[in-house]
Structures are given as C-alpha cells and as structure tokens.
Amino acid sequence: MSLLLLDLDNTLVDRAAAFRRWAEGFTRTHMVPANEVDWLVDADRDGYEPRDALARSIQRRFRLNGSAVEQLVEDLRWGMVEQLILDAEVPRALCAARDAGWAPVVVTNGTVEQQERKIRRMGLNDYLAGWVISESAGMAKPDRRIFELAADFVGVPLGGAWMIGDSAHADIGGAHRVGIESIWLHRGRTWEEDEFAPSIVLDSCPAAIDHVCTQ
Ligand SMILES: [Mg+2]
C-alpha cells in the first residue's frame, strides 16, 4: 500500500467553476450586469479572501443593505458548495488508484464543517481512505506535520507517497518539505517558485491520479 495525498479545492473539486456559477446566480438575483461576475471572481481571490471581507466588498460595490452582510457570508460559505459538480473522471481515477494499491487521503486547509460538507456532498468519502483538515489538525499545509498526520491516519508510511495539488506554496511546497514526489495542476498558470519544483506538471486531477497509478 502506498500513500496518495490529494488537495481538495481546485484539485479533486473544481471550486473555481463553482464560485463562478455562484457569482452568475448572484448577478441574476441582484439584477446587476452579468459582466460583474468577473469582478466577483477577482474579489474572491480563488477563495483566499476572508469571507467576511469579501461580503463587505460585495455589499459596498452593489450598495446592498448593511444588514445583508451576515446572510452574504453564509451564502458565500454554503451556497457556493451547492454549486460544486464532481467530474465523473475523479471517482473513476480514485477507484483505479485503490485497485492499484494506493490509499487516497485528502490533505486540505480550511474548516472541518465546510471541507467535510464538500467531501460528502460530492460523495468523495466513498472513494477516499481518509482526510485531514487543517482546522482539526491544528496545522496547515505546507507544514510537514499535516502530511505526517495523513500518513499516520491510514497507517501507511510517507516514503514513496505522492502529493497532487494546485497550490505551489501549500501543496508542492509541502511535498518538498517532506521529500515526496508531487504533481502540480497548472490551471493555466506558469511555475514561478525558484526554491522547489513539482516532479510533474499536469492539467487535470484524474490525469494526475492516473499518472501516479502507473508508477
Ligand atoms: Mg487547492
């Protein structure tokens, strides 16, 4: 048995597409021009903008009632999850990985409530050997200890493990710290880190899982 570590957002699930769908719904509901979707996507900063700060920015830009902010934060957290769609190739690739002797474990930064909701809503729990979430782990990627925790969780050593993710800093930087192979999902970006680099660069998670399975 070998360890296959996977990021969640914009790796196993297409969070960017889900946020765009959420933003499209927002423009329709609030009757603002459809081209404001791009402003919303930029303001989200791929999910890195704190939700309350994003909600306040949205409230100001679209002159929403100040009391709307709290509801907006809730909608940004949970309404976005409702917009996630799982690529059927992901469970197919995870099943193939398990059949080939890999234990797939999600290592994700975020809150337990939100990340577990995504995992369960997508049915990913049926295909994973487990998941480690930074909030409950008390540490976040790229801290090497969260990767060690994932290995301990399934009782499989880190040696020979692979990490798949879209974040240069958290995913590939973390893999570099623990000395394991990694695959970076480029999402149309170019690699810019000098200190470390992924073993391989690919454009989709299923392709990355398939690649690991052939190792
Ligand atoms: Mg990610």
CA of 202 to the centre of ligand 1 (A): 14
- Residue 67 predicted with pLDDT over 90: no
CA of 107 to the centre of ligand 1 (A): 10
CA of 66 to the centre of ligand 1 (A): 31
Q: What is the pLDDT of residues 76-122, one digit of tens each?
A: 999 999 999 999 999 999 999 999 999 999 999 999 999 999 999 99
- Residue 57 predicted with pLDDT over 90: yes
Nearest to 105 by CA among 67, 47, 153: 153
Angle at alpha carbon of residue 145, lines to 140 and 150, rounded to 5°: 90
CA of 213 to the centre of ligand 1 (A): 21
Average pLDDT over residues 199-205: 98
This prediction's pTM: 0.95
Calculate the average pLDDT of the chain: 96
Rounded percentage of the chain residues whose pLDDT exceeds 70: 100
- Residue 183 predicted with pLDDT over 90: yes
CA of 136 to the centre of ligand 1 (A): 18
pLDDT score for 63: 94
Query: Rounded distance, CA 213 to CA 215, Å?
Result: 5
CA of 152 to the centre of ligand 1 (A): 22
